[in-house]
A and B are shown apart, each in its own frame.
Chain A
Amino acid sequence: MSQKFENVSALVDGEASASGTSDSPLLEAVLNDNELMQKWNNYHLIRDTLRKELPKQLDLDIANQVAIALQSEPVILAPKRKWHDLPLVSNVVPFAKQGGQMAIAASVAVAMILGVQQFNHANVEQPFNAAPPILGIQGGLSPVSLEQTRALPRTDVAEQRRILGAYLSDHKQQMRLKSHQSMDMNISVADELKTHKEAQSDVVDNLPE
């Protein structure tokens, strides 16, 4: 028995002479013997532990899960190649179809424009940001597709974007300029402030009703 395990151990370490050939008697034995298979698993696990190669999340049963997933997956057969699958022809045909596709793409683009574009700014300077970067069209959606649609006039999109930008930048400013009164601070901040110059012009005090 222990001889059998030792052979497996040697095989794991790559010391068995049989390595490389799938029909070696030892490999056959491992494949057919559940106990040996378990040993094989354990030895690999031990080796990975010793080498600190273990993944963060240990999923011992991953091979089984893959096998199950494969079984439940529908079989996809490669379609037969037809004449228009030839590279040259397939390059030409889309031009004919493009009109309809562009229309769909354009309408999708407009639907996404407010939802996606607006919020994809890579704003690295966020925490102390003085003013937001000018909102513009980001990569991925070309202005051409926007021109082609008549569903939503372009000025509206731009206007909406501008309004939203105004709110976002004001929110950032508020976050930057908020001041928390400390609990153990006895001096009145408000009194202190009165002696200093008024620097904020954004606050509207007397608004016509």
Chain B
Amino acid sequence: MTSVLVACLFFTSDTFAQQPAQLVVGTQEADSAELWLSKMSNAMRSLNYKISFVLLKPGVDSQPFIWRHAVDENGLQMEQLNQLNGPGREALRLGNKISYFEPNVAPYSLLSSSINGPFPYEFFQYPEKLSAGYDLVLVGKSRISGRAAQQIRVVSKDNSRFGLNLWLDQKTGLLLKLNMFNLKAQLLEQIQVTSLEVTQLPDAFFTKIDAKMLPEVISLGTSKVRDSPWQINYLPVGMQIRKRELRRLSASGKVVEYVMISDGLVDVSMYLNEGTAKPLDTLVAKSQSDTVLSLQHAGLNVVVIGKLPASTANKIVTSIQRVEQGQ
């Protein structure tokens, strides 16, 4: 009996000893987080793949998706993202035209380079945009979805935004898992890939698409920067104003100034609301993985919604200042 146990002990310690040897081999291919991320975006753009993944958010049921991508013989990128639970929502991308099919809304198309889906798609395509605001750290290797994976951590430089932990397939560079965590390193949102298939030829699904049958491209109006009396003095490192316009909230009919700020990973909405009779009370809350902050500042009611820490949102809001018109 004892001899058997001892033999097993040797066996187990032996397998442990082999692992470091494999790790060393893996690191020779790409040895910086930047290289791994560019490998990821290249793979996402150039390979034919089919990925199933599950999206997990606090307070919501898990949501399974299928994600197909292919490049046809003319170099045209084709992509499909389909939510598998519920009434079925689908996004289809042919080059720069993205068509959305959703229940209760007539299908429409947008001209854009990225699908607006459940994941930070812009980051997948242009990870280099992140270098302004985030540090990229190569962490280590592990096994995700049955594959050897490289872990990379994305941390904001000024500690003002949530971070990412992502695991990339060592062989192809495609995404296997993505965790978004808050400043206390608690998990906020997770994407877990359940199956990954890379093929030589485009998936048969894409041959069925008739490009002429896709819905027309709609215009969203020009998102011009209005000559606003309000100036935002503080933005976290790497964040920029993407959009600034006057909007009428469809649900309440109120006209507010809308500002979208983005750093290539998260997009945050800000609503500047001047002199209303009934402003929203001061409030800090969470809506799934979004932070909601409402503050009264300098005669404004400012509402911030997005995936960023409440402390950062507060800092941005309190930096807003009225400037004289015409300057």
Binding site for B on A (CB under 8 A): 2, 5-6, 9-10, 13, 15, 43, 46, 49-50, 114-115, 118-128, 130-131, 159-160, 162-171, 173-183, 185, 189-190, 192-194, 196-200, 202-205, 207
Taken together as a complex, chains A and B put the C-alpha atoms of A122 and B281 apart, in Å, by 24
Chain B nearest CB, measured from A4 CB (Å):
11
Chain A nearest CB, measured from B240 CB (Å):
12
CB pair B247–A171 under 8 Å, yes or no, is no
Known contacts A5-B2, A124-B85; A204/B102 CB under 8 A: no
Q: Which residues of A have CB within 8 Å of B221?
A: 198, 200, 203, 205
Known contacts A166-B249, A177-B116, A177-B220; A182/B61 CB under 8 A: no
CB pair A196–B247 under 8 Å, yes or no, is no
**What are the 5 tightest A-B residue pairs by CB atom distance, in nearest-first order?**
A182-B113, A179-B112, A166-B251, A127-B118, A199-B218
Binding site for A on B (CB under 8 A): 1-2, 5, 8-9, 12, 55, 57, 59-61, 63, 83, 85-87, 89, 91, 96, 100, 102-105, 108, 110-114, 116-118, 122, 125-126, 216-223, 242-243, 245-252, 254-255, 258, 260, 267, 269, 271, 278, 280-281, 283, 285-288, 290, 292, 294, 303, 305-306
Q: Which residues of B have CB within 8 Å of A124?
A: 60-61, 63, 85-86
Q: Which residues of A have CB within 8 Å of B116?
A: 128, 175-178
CB pair A122–B60 under 8 Å, yes or no, is yes
Taken together as a complex, chains A and B put the C-alpha atoms of A163 and B292 apart, in Å, by 13
Q: A46-B5, A167-B303, A182-B113 are in contact. List 9 more A-B contacts (CB 8 A).
A: A115-B283, A119-B288, A125-B89, A126-B57, A127-B83, A166-B249, A180-B112, A182-B112, A203-B247
Taken together as a complex, chains A and B put the C-alpha atoms of A124 and B9 apart, in Å, by 48
Chain B nearest CB, measured from A125 CB (Å):
6
| Most chain A beta-carbon contacts within 10 A, residue among B12, B122, B126, B251 | B251
CB pair A193–B219 under 8 Å, yes or no, is yes
Taken together as a complex, chains A and B put the C-alpha atoms of A175 and B122 apart, in Å, by 12
CB pair A197–B218 under 8 Å, yes or no, is yes
Q: Which residues of A have CB within 8 Å of B89?
A: 125, 127-128
Known contacts A50-B8, A204-B247; A166/B110 CB under 8 A: no
CB pair A46–B8 under 8 Å, yes or no, is yes
| Most chain B beta-carbon contacts within 10 A, residue among A13, A127, A165, A183 | A127
Q: Which residues of B have CB within 8 Å of A118?
A: 285, 287
Taken together as a complex, chains A and B put the C-alpha atoms of A196 and B108 apart, in Å, by 12
Q: Which residues of A have CB within 8 Å of B2?
A: 2, 5-6, 9
Chain B nearest CB, measured from A134 CB (Å):
10
Chain B nearest CB, measured from A209 CB (Å):
10
Q: Which of chain A's residues has its CB closest to B325's CB?
A: A209
CB pair B63–A180 under 8 Å, yes or no, is no
Taken together as a complex, chains A and B put the C-alpha atoms of A207 and B113 apart, in Å, by 31
Q: Which residues of A have CB within 8 Å of B280?
A: 160, 163-164, 167
Known contacts A126-B57, A198-B219, A202-B248; A174/B258 CB under 8 A: yes
